[in-house]
């Protein structure tokens, strides 16, 4: 994966609400990754 994309994803993860269930974070991450890859 491109490093710039990974940095964006990490920032995105940090901005998520801490109490959000892990499953939702994974789903969010997957959707984000797919939108970047398109």
Q: What is the model's pLDDT at position 10?
A: 78
Which residue pairs from 24-33 have beta carbons closer than 8 angstroms and sit at least 24 positions apart in sequence? 33/1, 33/5, 33/9
How far is 18 from 20, CA to CA, in rounded Å?
Answer: 6
Percent of the chain with pLDDT over 70: 63
Q: What is the model's pLDDT at position 27?
A: 81
1 has pLDDT over 60:
no
Residue 35: enclosing H or E segment and its boundaries? helix 22-37
38 has pLDDT over 60:
no
Per-chain mean pLDDT for the chain: 72
33 has pLDDT over 60:
yes
Neighbouring residues of 32: CB distance < 8 A, sequence distance ≥ 6:
9, 12
């Amino acid at each position: 994966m491109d490093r710039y994309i990974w940095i964006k994803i990490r920032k995105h993860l940090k901005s998520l609400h801490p109490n959000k269930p892990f499953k939702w974070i994974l789903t969010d991450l997957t959707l984000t990754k797919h939108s970047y890859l398109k």
